[in-house]
């Protein structure tokens, strides 16, 4: 593997990390991968694990999250004929599970972060801390919303996830796309690299090849339109741009417009099923 670029942890430690490219899989790998990854999540600024709405950025994040929750459930509704069981891996503070339960699914979640599980419990959502606590159950739908890039021991984790999927079930995975225009535009300031919390950085080829080994195929790919704007906003802030909102709007808009032709959106949702 060869060095692709160097970037740093802008949100917690300020440490520098390298991204190495695996040409065969067409993906990037964060190096070094910390043994104690938990400390890199210990920040009030890491708002994906909180419900904070103090700053403008946090309020915007929460507003976009609410809209995305509706879009996610609609996507799943379009894939299943009857609603049964759903497992959300990396459930955060439980908001998606609440929406899924209200939509008629028997939904359970896994979240390793203690603080996130506490927030979820306040909402009446009890989360499991790991996959082993599920007791070997199988699920009609398994979702990982911006989670796969966080998981250590990737091949082993994929194998465990696939084993939990019903024979005719669907697996839905959302991840950032380092082939997008905004990734190329911002380079080492691209917020969705989010090292070292993001251990892996995927392309369409990478997702296809990684899951093909487990006889799971990609049946459709969908854009996450809001991500281009939100990631651009964070990237502009990392660059120190005081007019970050204006710049981010135009970069995000241009990224989405270009992706209408290239299909390389800032983040992509993959719908996968077991091969017949």
Q: Three-class SS of residue 145? A: strand
Domains observed in the chain: 2-274 (3.40.50.150)
Query: Radius of gyration of the chain from Cα atoms?
Result: 18
Q: What is the pLDDT of residue 255?
A: 98
Judging by DSSP bridges, how do beta strands 267-274 and 165-176 pair with one another?
A: antiparallel
Please confirm whether the linkage preceding 251 is cis (ω < 30° from 0): no
User: How far apart, in whole angstroms, are the C-alpha atoms of residue 70 and residue 90?
Assistant: 18
- Residue 109 parent element (H or E): strand 106-110
Q: What is the pLDDT of residue 44?
A: 62
Q: What is the pLDDT of residues 205-235, one digit of tens each?
A: 999 999 999 999 999 999 999 999 999 999 9
60 CB burial (10 A radius; 0-12, 13-18, 19+) = middle
Locus of tokens 């990982």: 144
The pTM (predicted TM-score) of the whole model is 0.93
Tokens for 13, please give them: 């430690």
Q: What is the pLDDT of residues 97-112, one digit of tens each?
A: 999 999 999 999 999 9
């Amino acid at each position: 593997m060869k060095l692709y670029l160097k970037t740093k942890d802008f949100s917690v430690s300020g440490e520098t990390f390298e991204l190495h490219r695996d040409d065969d899989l067409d993906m990037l790998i964060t190096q070094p991968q910390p043994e104690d990854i938990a400390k890199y999540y210990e920040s009030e600024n890491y708002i994906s694990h909180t419900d904070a709405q103090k700053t403008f950025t946090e309020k915007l994040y929460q507003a976009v999250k609410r809209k995305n929750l509706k879009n996610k459930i609609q996507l799943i509704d379009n894939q299943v004929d009857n609603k049964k069981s759903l497992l959300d891996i990396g459930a955060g503070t439980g908001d998606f599970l609440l929406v899924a339960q209200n939509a008629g699914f028997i939904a359970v979640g896994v979240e390793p972060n203690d603080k996130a599980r506490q927030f979820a419990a306040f909402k009446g959502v009890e989360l499991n801390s790991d996959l082993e606590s599920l007791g070997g159950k199988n699920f009609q739908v398994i979702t990982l919303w911006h989670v796969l890039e966080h998981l250590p021991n990737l091949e082993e984790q994929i194998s465990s996830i696939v084993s939990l999927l019903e024979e005719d079930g669907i697996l839905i995975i959302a991840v950032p796309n380092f082939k997008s225009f905004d990734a190329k535009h911002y380079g080492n300031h691209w917020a969705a690299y989010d090292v070292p919390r993001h251990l892996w950085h995927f392309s369409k080829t990478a997702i296809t090849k990684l899951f093909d080994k487990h006889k799971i195929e990609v049946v459709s790919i969908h854009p996450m339109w809001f991500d281009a704007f939100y990631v651009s906003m964070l990237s502009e802030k990392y660059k120190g741009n005081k007019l970050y909102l204006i710049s981010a709007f135009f970069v995000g808009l241009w990224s989405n417009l270009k992706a209408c032709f290239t299909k390389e959106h800032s983040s992509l949702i993959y719908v996968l099923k077991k091969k017949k």
